[in-house]
């Protein structure tokens, strides 16, 4: 029943979402605990079934997003549920815009022990853009994905300005999206070798960046996620915005924990 409770608490008083970025964000927040290495179809069905039972346009849209951003078996189950709902005439009006963002520009900024990459992501024929931030930490033996986050949509001109601006004291350099994908892929493999996990916020957003780079849900390997420090807040989180704020709060804690682990490794 864990998925049912989660769906009830997150969607309880939300009737509809008209903004595609908000819909994607909510699906990404719901997704990650069900898209971890080694999870079986029974576990992933715990999320898919209650959404399909809900059976409205919002649920259909969330399922489209889950299909777009998830590894297997979650992605396949979501796609099958989308097909069944569609057979009953339930289709999200946002369906053809979900998962369509593509990285159109990227810039990199050197920081101590690593690099910050900013990506500008945009849907075809749409004016707004979203800026994603990827922090990559360079260890002597390889890279680690330190943090991934994506901001809500802004005007294209503003997104472009963000990519061109100095980040802390570092001037931006252009980065080919292909090079970012290769770096993320190598970093993910390196993290698997060292049993280094993603934090919750990064786990939420990494699939959005990886899909925007490749058009695929499974371009990067699945990574483990740190156990959230507290789990109670979920019960009082009816919407994606609150889930996002919760993720922001845990981010600070996770960062401290990661810093402590890093010190211990040295």
Specify the long-range contacts of residues 143-146, CB closer than 8 Å, at least 24 apart: 143/114, 143/183, 143/186, 143/187, 143/190, 144/187, 144/190, 144/191, 144/194, 144/196, 145/184, 145/187, 145/188, 145/191, 145/198, 145/202, 145/206, 145/223, 146/114, 146/202, 146/258
> Could you say which of 15, 18, 141, 264 contacts Zn ion (CB under 5 A)?
141
Per-residue contact flags (x/-) with Zn ion for residues 89 to 128, judged by CB under 5 A? ----------------------------------------
Cβ nearer to Zn ion, comparing 141 with 169: 141
Cβ nearer to Zn ion, comparing 173 with 194: 194
Cβ nearer to Zn ion, comparing 142 with 238: 142
Report, in Å, the least distance between residue 266 CB and Zn ion. Answer: 13
Cβ nearer to Zn ion, comparing 142 with 228: 142
Report, in Å, the least distance between residue 193 CB and Zn ion. Answer: 6
142 binds Zn ion (CB under 5 A): yes
Helix or strand run (H / E) with residue 143: strand 142-150
Report, in Å, the least distance between residue 141 CB and Zn ion. Answer: 3
Per-residue contact flags (x/-) with Zn ion for residues 175 to 214, judged by CB under 5 A? ----------------------------------------
Alpha carbon dihedral 119, 100, 213, 169, in 10-degree steps, equals 0
Cβ nearer to Zn ion, comparing 88 with 263: 263
Q: What distance in Å separates the CA atoms of residue 159 and residue 140, rounded to the nearest whole number?
A: 33
Report, in Å, the least distance between residue 142 CB and Zn ion. Answer: 4
For the chain, how many residues are written?
266
Contacts of 112 (CB under 8 A, 6+ apart): none
Q: What is the DSSP letter of 229?
A: S
Count of residues that interact with Zn ion, criterion CB under 5 A? 2
Residue range at the interface with Zn ion (CB under 5 A); choices 27-35, 97-105, 133-141, 165-173: 133-141
Report, in Å, the least distance between residue 138 CB and Zn ion. Answer: 10
Question: In the chain, what are the helix, strand and coil shares in percent, each to the nearest 5?
Answer: 55, 20, 30
Tell me the residue number closest to Zn ion, measured at CB: 141
Residue range at the interface with Zn ion (CB under 5 A); choices 34-42, 80-88, 140-148, 180-188: 140-148
Q: What distance in Å separates the CA atoms of residue 226 and residue 149, rounded to the nearest whole number?
A: 16
Residue range at the interface with Zn ion (CB under 5 A); choices 30-38, 142-150, 170-178, 252-260: 142-150
Q: What distance in Å separates the CA atoms of residue 29 and residue 234, rounded to the nearest whole number?
A: 11
Report, in Å, the least distance between residue 31 CB and Zn ion. Answer: 28
Binding site for Zn ion (CB under 5 A): 141-142
């Amino acid at each position: 029943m864990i998925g049912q409770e989660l769906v009830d608490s997150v969607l309880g008083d939300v009737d509809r979402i008209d903004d595609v970025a908000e819909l994607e964000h909510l699906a990404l927040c719901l997704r990650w605990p069900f898209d971890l290495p080694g999870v079986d179809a029974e576990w992933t069905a715990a999320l898919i079934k209650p959404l399909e039972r809900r059976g409205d346009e919002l649920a259909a849209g969330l399922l489209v997003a889950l299909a777009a951003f998830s590894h297997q078996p979650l992605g396949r189950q979501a796609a099958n549920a989308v097909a069944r709902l569609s057979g009953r005439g339930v289709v999200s009006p946002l369906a053809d815009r979900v998962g369509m963002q593509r990285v159109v520009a990227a810039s990199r900024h050197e920081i101590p022990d690593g690099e910050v990459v900013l990506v500008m992501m945009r849907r075809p024929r749409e004016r707004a853009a979203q800026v994603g931030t990827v922090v990559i930490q360079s260890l002597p033996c390889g890279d680690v994905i330190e943090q991934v986050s994506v901001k809500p949509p802004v005007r294209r001109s503003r997104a472009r300005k963000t990519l061109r601006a100095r980040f802390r004291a570092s001037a931006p350099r252009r980065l080919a999206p292909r090079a970012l994908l290769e770096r993320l892929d190598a970093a993910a493999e390196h993290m698997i070798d060292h049993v280094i996990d993603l934090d919750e916020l990064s786990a939420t957003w990494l699939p959005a960046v990886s899909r925007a780079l490749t058009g695929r849900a499974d371009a990067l390997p699945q990574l483990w996620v740190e156990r959230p420090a507290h789990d109670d807040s979920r019960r009082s989180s009816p919407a994606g915005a609150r889930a996002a704020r919760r993720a922001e709060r845990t981010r600070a804690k996770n960062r401290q924990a990661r810093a402590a682990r890093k010190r211990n490794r040295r």
